[in-house]
Amino acid sequence: MIDKRQREQAAQPVEKIVVMGGSFNPPTLAHQKILLAAMEALGADRGLFVPSSHEYVQNKMEKLGQPQDVFSEQLRLEMLRAMAAEDSRLAVEDMEFHRTEKAYTYETMEAVQARYPAAKLYFLAGGDKVEVIARWHRIQEFLERFSIIVIRRDGEDPRAAIQAHPFLRRYQERFLVIEAPAGIEGMSSSVLRDKLRRSDPGAKALCHPGVWELLQKSGVLGQPAISAFQGEYRFLSNFWDAPVTYEGLTYKNNEAAFQAQKSLRQEEKLSFTAVDPAEAKGRGRQIGLRPDWEEVKLGIMEEIARAKFTQNHALRQQLLATGDKELREGNNWHDTFWGVDLRTSKGENHLGKILMKVRSELARYAAQGESTGTLPQETILRDTQQLLKEFAEDYRRMAE
């Protein structure tokens, strides 16, 4: 028998929520317009932006060959919140940021349902995704619990695609196809990233004003940045294979040269000359640190970086070719001293600052008409003094 409370609950209108997942790397006005159009067509009470985790976005951008174009979780979250702030029906859920396992759409919708247990959920999908929906993780359970709103753009026929697929046809009542709103032609995150990369003034028209303001504050605008030493900018990394001579020893890469300096023993430094970067980093964690390491490590890193780009002509030209771009060693291993954590956009970025200093020096020498085919005079003097110091020390030891 149904009691009074149950009858009252049954009589209450069910809240309808449209869920829009995605990378939002970065969000554009098209995202907002599509979500609002879907809500209008459905008569929904609420619309949710659910951004993907940093790991997902990073992997996606690496596959596209654009690992440097990853916006941090925090910045993506703030941009979406700015876009949602003007409409009380819109909100942002960051549940995918906190998941340790791989994020699937079904589990994300489950999490949304747990947060809004009385609501009926609708997931937004593009018309070009219909044919792959049948391959989604736990798709039968998905369609038994949730519905899908498909956005149709010109040249797409999602209704025909649903009818043509035996499985999807069985659940056709779970699909609602609506037309894409006007005014979003040519709007996408990839187009926006390209315009930002080229400092194209047309980028502003693709952004919500609040998003544009955050992009300005983040340093993305007006100062093109290389945000990670990957892909075409891998040569900036200490892990790049390029011989470098420092204090009389030649190493296979900068990482080995740097890690070797943690020791004051010449024979221990010598053991680093033939190792690859990963092995050098591992060895560097095991050797006993010289007592003044924290005081001297920045200066040593600068000297080794300068040696790399003055001793290797091709790398020197590549560094100069980066122009005035900010150099940030964005990373996923949470190094906030030498680089910047890509998840939080926080970090002191000492390696990036050193490389920009070296680049400025090299550009100045080139502008003055000096040959950049040799080491700057102060570097030659410093290395010569160091070698003489080492020879004197060796001679003293032999005399004892």
51 and 146 within one domain: yes
Intra-chain end-to-end CA distance of the chain, in Å: 102
Q: What is the pLDDT of residue 370?
A: 52
260 and 178 within one domain: no
Final residue of a domain: which of 145, 161, 184? 184
Report CA torsion sign: 218, 220, 224, 229.
positive
**CATH of residue 294:** 1.10.357.40
Residue 340 lies inside a defined structural domain of this protein: yes
236 and 148 within one domain: no
Alpha-carbon gap, residue 358 to 362, rounded angstroms: 6
**CATH of residue 139:** 3.40.50.620
Nearest to 108 by CA among 71, 138, 140: 138
| 378: exposed, middle or buried (Cβ count in 10 Å: 0-12, 13-18, 19+) | exposed
Q: What is the pTM of this model?
A: 0.64
Residue 359 lies inside a defined structural domain of this protein: yes
Alpha-carbon gap, residue 24 to 366, rounded angstroms: 41
Final residue of a domain: which of 123, 153, 184? 184
Alpha-carbon gap, residue 139 to 145, rounded angstroms: 10
pLDDT along the chain (400 residues), means of 10: 49 85 96 97 97 91 84 94 96 90 90 96 91 93 96 88 94 95 92 86 93 86 76 95 96 97 95 96 94 96 97 95 89 92 86 96 80 48 49 51
Give me the number of domains the chain comprises.
Answer: 2
Q: What is the pLDDT of residue 392?
A: 52
Final residue of a domain: which of 129, 152, 184? 184
Q: Which stretches of 52-146 are assigned E, i.e. beta strand?
A: 90-92, 120-126
Q: What is the pLDDT of residue 16?
A: 97
Q: What is the extent of the structural domain holding 63?
A: 14-184
Q: What is the pLDDT of residue 369?
A: 63
291 and 177 within one domain: no
Residue 207 lies inside a defined structural domain of this protein: no
Q: What is the pLDDT of residue 324?
A: 83
Q: Are residues 207 and 32 in contact, defined by beta-carbon separation less than 8 angstroms?
A: no
Question: Could you tell me which residues come within 8 angstroms of residue 265 by beta carbon, excluding any fewer than 6 positions away?
Answer: none
155 and 291 within one domain: no
Q: 129-147: b or e for each residue (b if 16 or more CB lie within 10 Å)?
A: ebeebbebeebeebbeebb
Residue 269 lies inside a defined structural domain of this protein: yes
Residue 215 lies inside a defined structural domain of this protein: no
Gyration radius of the chain's alpha carbons: 28
Two tokens, residue 65: 């060959």
18 and 159 within one domain: yes
Residue 3 lies inside a defined structural domain of this protein: no
238 and 102 within one domain: no
Residue 200 lies inside a defined structural domain of this protein: no
Residue 164 lies inside a defined structural domain of this protein: yes
362 and 268 within one domain: yes
